[in-house]
Amino acid sequence: MANIIVIENDPRVKSQIKQYLGELGSDEHKIRFFESQQAFEARYFNQANLQKQKPPLLEIPALKKWTETQGDWMLEHQLEQQAPFPGETLRLSHQVATQKITAIDPDVDENINIFGMSKTDLQATTNHIYKLIGTPFQPIFTDFLEKVINNTPIEPFTYPLISASSGQIWLLSLSAKLQGDSVVIEFKNVTETVRPTFNKEVEKRKKEAEEGGVELDRLGTIDLIIFKLNLIKDFKKGWVQNTLTKIKKFGLQPTYRNTKLILLKYEDDGIHKVDLLYPQIHDLVYLPLDRALFLQKVDIILNLPEIAKPQFLFQQDVEMHINLAKRTNIDFISDLGIGMRNPIALAPGLMGHFFLKLPSQEEEIEFYGKVQKSKPHQEYKNEFVVFFTFFGIEKDILSKIRRFLSQNPRYQSWINEDETKFEFSNENIFLTEKEKRIKNIAIVIPDEKVISSLTKTIVDHFHQVRVVGDTSYQNFLIKYLSPKQKNQPDFNPEDIQVATAKDLGSEKIIFYANKESFFIQAPPAPEEDDEGQILGHPQKELLSHSDKWVNLLFPLGSEKDVLKEVFEAVWKGRKIESIYIVHDNKMEPWAASLSFEPQLEDGTIKVTVTPAHAATVKEKLLREIRIPTIDTLIVDSHYVPEDVNAWVEGLNEACRQQNLLPEDKKLKIIILEAESHKVDISQFGNPSIRAIQPIPIDNRSFLVSL
């Protein structure tokens, strides 16, 4: 049931609204029409209304804690004549884990109804009782059970229960206590203590209605206001906010939700809809009314924050993307993200696209953000602060935000910068086993130096983490998501030898290979000693005008796939330098440093082979140890295919199949965006992708994202 105010002076539109709202349930909703803003305000914002005495019904001890809204709800029903259960009291044992009634005291026969239903139906689920409780009281009952489960002291409260058979109500005082894994709820029937006053109040209202009294005409609360724009004279002077403030002041706001507003206007009235986007206005509807659209919008708004099942629109599956936009209040902004006020909490990972003008700046800035968390707003009841971290924000936009923030000398990005306050201690008794668990992070980036730098940043600032890295996405897939290759050598990492200048036959070997065929173009001039060797391979053969260098140094199929991947990345503008495992003429593994650089003028890749440093090789091998699970994947944008959603879901499924991820969890992904491989941010809305960080990395932003 909803109480609706309509400010509209066109008889035809009023008739349509009355007819359409009747389709939502004429018996459930109360509608009051006003021809002007002044008529509505005179009726509802009259100072005399503040002096109104509490209704006699709410002076009864059993109903002292009720609001007028709850009292009005009760007066719209009839009191049941039959008893809800045998005797004065009834105790039900509600098992928390199963949500079922496991015991009834005193026990009754199968043919005895309780609350208008059979004993079998009652015991099936506690949800049956919840549904019988009057709608304005259901949130109170939920809170009541939670407090009992948490052993929080709570006083008895009187609830109206609707009979499952007759639809009439009983008034039952509920108290409860925790007993083992169950909550024992005691119901005490107080219907008869209220009945005399209830009957008098019903008769009084009936008489007032017959005599044309106004008390019945005035709604106790207002759920929705539908108003035509040209009837609001003070609209540009803050009428919307002033009206909502007065609704609270005069006690007209519903107990468990805020009053909603719908604006009506003609599309060709010369007023642009962007100028009407206020966060307090929940929707704008054009005149003349479209029946299905109007009904669906009203149905959704009246059901918020619950999800309304489509009844009038969207009943067929449609394969299309729908963007929803609204003007909103930004509670705060920093160089890491923003806090937005919203009527409901938003799921972590949800993406938002923001357009805003910073104070004192004319130019509008645009950026994306991803939800980090939501928490109840401290100042606005029934609203939330939703925290968005910047998502792939451009450097020039971030610079503008930082310049704006620097104008305020009191601005600070962190609440506390003392890292010792957050150090992990295994002795901390308040930490759960889940919080103590080591989190595993995999980094897959072509650049060894970036992996090394990121690893150091993470372990320096985080506790309980294990970081592994790989320069090849192909290697990552083989290692974690594919069965072991048949031709993959089964060597111990400790057996890998570090190649020196003597082993390579030179301090540096440089050649140019075709980006597609791997063929060496213009082989380097041979040394005087044609019998020179590179890791036991004849130099003349390895550096000939062919692709033999690939077959000799990278003889395995999987290694060739890695090399192909490297060439593709390099040709897109990446300069890659890393330690690679190559093979000598006896198939023994060696570690050498290889760098790759694109030569755009002739379609080749410059390959430079140099000796490796033992410490660097050891560091790389330690990073490539296989981890048992993966919590977060940090991956280069070059490795992300065009169909991002399919890629993410495929990764999640493959990780679950390899037991790298629990069935109920999803991989969290951070994309590193290289200058040479910019991405379309709008395509990365998948909630698993938590951040896009440009290279070079901004450590503060990266650490917050992680």
Highest-pLDDT range among 217-226, 326-335, 412-421, 455-464: 455-464
For the cut 90, the answer to whether the pLDDT of residue 436 exceeds it is no
Same fold, 330-406 and 433-479+628-705: no
CATH 3.30.870 for domain 486-547+573-613, yes or no, is no
Where helices occur in 412-536 by DSSP H, the ranges are 433-436, 448-461, 473-481, 501-504
pLDDT attached to residue 215: 45
Tell me the domain boundaries of the chain: 3-35+221-303, 62-194, 330-406, 433-479+628-705, 486-547+573-613
Provide mean pLDDT across the span 525-549: 78
Express each pLDDT in 133-146 by its tens digit.
Answer: 988 888 888 888 88
Looking at the chain, the whole-number percentage of residues with pLDDT higher than 90 is 33
Of the candidate ranges 186-190, 486-490, 577-581, the one whose mean pLDDT is the lowest: 486-490
Q: Which two tokens stand for residue 515?
A: 């980006």
Highest-pLDDT range among 55-64, 320-329, 334-343: 334-343
CATH of domain 62-194: 3.30.450.20
Distance, in Å, from the CA atom of 70 to the CA atom of 254, rounded to the nearest integer, reads 10
Distance, in Å, from the CA atom of 500 to the CA atom of 591, rounded to the nearest integer, reads 9
More confident residue, 200 or 677: 200
Cα–Cα–Cα angle for 589, 593, 595, rounded to 5 degrees: 130
3-state helix, strand, coil in the chain (%, to 5): 35, 25, 40
How would you class 440 by CB atoms within 10 Å of its CB: exposed for 0-12, middle for 13-18, buried for 19 or more? middle
Express each pLDDT in 466-489 by its tens digit.
Answer: 999 988 888 888 888 875 543 444
Q: Residue 6 — φ and ψ, nearest 5°? A: -125, 120
Q: Which two tokens stand for residue 204?
A: 């009084």
Confidence grade of residue 318 (pLDDT, cut at 50, 70, 90): low
CATH of domain 330-406: 2.40.10.220
CA 686 from centre of chain: 10
Where helices occur in 304-394 by DSSP H, the ranges are none
State whether residue 87 is helix, strand or coil.
coil
Express each pLDDT in 100-139 by its tens digit.
Answer: 888 888 888 888 889 998 888 888 777 778 888 988 888 8
Distance, in Å, from the CA atom of 629 to the CA atom of 484, rounded to the nearest integer, reads 17
Provide mean pLDDT across the span 456-464: 91
Whole-Å CA distances, 243 to 91, 258, 281, 678: 46, 12, 12, 48
Q: Which residues face 442 on adjacent strands?
A: 468, 633
- Comparing CA positions, the residue from 401, 392, 368, 372 lying closest to residue 384 is 372
For the cut 70, the answer to whether the pLDDT of residue 589 exceeds it is yes
Express each pLDDT in 275-307 by its tens digit.
Answer: 787 878 888 999 999 888 898 889 888 876 666
Whole-Å CA distances, 692 to 351, 569, 701: 12, 19, 10
How would you class 254 by CB atoms within 10 Å of its CB: exposed for 0-12, middle for 13-18, buried for 19 or more? buried
CATH 3.30.565.10 for domain 433-479+628-705, yes or no, is no
Q: How many CB atoms lie within 10 A of CB 302?
A: 20
Name residue 41's amino acid: E
Angle at which helices 239-249 and 37-44 pack, to 10 degrees?
A: 20
Element (H, E) at 512: strand 509-514
CB 618 within 8 A of CB 494: no
- Name the one residue in this structure whose structure tokens are 């993470």: 458
Name residue 357's amino acid: K
Express each pLDDT in 58-75 by its tens digit.
Answer: 888 888 888 877 887 888
Express each pLDDT in 75-97 by its tens digit.
Answer: 888 999 999 999 889 999 988 87
Express each pLDDT in 628-643 by its tens digit.
Answer: 999 999 999 988 988 8
The CATH superfamily of 3-35+221-303 is Response regulator (3.40.50.2300)
Provide mean pLDDT across the span 373-377: 92
Q: How many CB atoms lie within 10 A of CB 489?
A: 14
Distance, in Å, from the CA atom of 104 to the CA atom of 93, rounded to the nearest integer, reads 7
Q: How many CB atoms lie within 10 A of CB 702?
A: 19
**Mean pLDDT of all residues in the chain?**
85
Highest-pLDDT range among 202-216, 316-330, 642-656: 642-656
